[in-house]
Structure 1
Amino acid sequence: MSARAVVVPLSDSTAPTTAHFLPGVDGGLRPACAFAELVRDRLAVHGVMLTGTDHPDAHDVEPQARLALDAVVRKTGRAPDRLIGYSYGALVALEMAHQAVARGLSAPALLLLDTPVTPGPQKAPSPVTMFWYIGQGAGLDLTLAEFAALGPERREAEVARWCATRSPGFDLRAARTVYATIEANCAAWAGHTARPWSGPADVIIAEDSAETGGGRGDWSAVFPGGYRTRTVPGGHRDVLSEAGAVALARAVTDLTAPL
């Protein structure tokens, strides 16, 4: 499959301001739908789905950002108003913002969802750990150590079995596709060098996040022009959960309220 990007509305909002959502390392847009529905009066949230990220043309963040920006401009005829990046998607959103300005387009506002980013080379998580998180979200009852000790085919089978309880039709083939996406995006993450951004920027912090909660996150080096923060309950995986959508929507509504 060749690499490409597709822009998908996540609600039926007709709000004049559009936000484009860049998903986490697994590429899934579904977790953002509950949040998108709750902010539909303020923002029309569109997801940017990157497919074929294991293709040689999309092994790095830069080409993924270019594909995503091309898709947004092709659909809207202009630069995105706001880019929302979750986890790995924050790196893609940041690079998209730089590329938009380099093309002579207006600078989009950035919103990072619980993602620590510093200028320079990035430290990527393990693909197996990220795959385990997918299973955990569906109820997988194995510890990370137990999951990692399984062979690749058994890991895929376990994730497929548990995810099928939440998403009927999620089968072994789907699990393999998700893992291939995670593996490719983790490699892109590890090979990426982030650049500071002086445009408008906001950050959502999950108060129980292992990397950003409790004052552990600092984005001043990547956002030298300043940034605003809002805190939501829970950990990193809770930010886009159905339970966490209300708090996230409240925080985003506050950040996007007219001055």
Structure 2
Amino acid sequence: MCGRYALTLTEELKEILGLLELEDFPARYNIAPTQPILVVASGEAQEPGSNLPDRRAVLVRWGFTPSWVKDPKVFPLLINARAETAIGKASFRAAMRHRRVLVPASGFYEWHRPSKKSGERPQAYWIRPRGGGVVAFAGLMETWSSADGSEVDTGAILTTAANASIASIHDRMPVVIKPEDFARWLDCRTQEPRDVVGLMQPTDEDFFEAIPIADKVNKVANMGADLQTPLVIDKPPKAPGKEAGDGQLSLF
């Protein structure tokens, strides 16, 4: 899953993601469900020959609400969408076809939760690109409209099976879209869901590094850079097996 993440390298976003505009956006070290998150969507098409970016930054609530939901208060909070089923699932089908977005991040947090029988303690990890910088998760966006006409933009992060380097911590991870695939993922005009299935795969095994950290990240009120301070642990977690827990930090 992806139940917490961070976005701190905001000065790089405009250039890396090809945004037309980006207002000042503060560093955030503990982004949690229901909070506003920054996503990148396709913008208006530029004139032929223009060098201007055709992408825009949008703030959405992290917690996807399909347009057909009548009362979001009684609808489950969908912070993640499984890449394997999103194309056919009623909640995400329309967004997969018309409203694919990128979710920029500096990395994400995850818990390794072993079984009680193992005697191991839960351990939090800060998982970031080995080379640093900004990574783009695959996301979906939907605008929910109430009966009185008010609208709320909502979003979810797509997840896939964890690669070998993350599987010892959790069996799921965010779908990472590579820079060379940004345009293809965001192009909902010519690229149908079946055309981008190949992008929703686990990223390379050496792409992320997992850094053990204190469990302060599990409290939303903790928002400082110290959340990412490394801890020294005696041994790495065991690979998940029949007795392994689900490792969820929140809802990934």
Higher strand share: 2
TM-score after normalising by structure 1: 0.22
**Structure of greater Rg:** 2
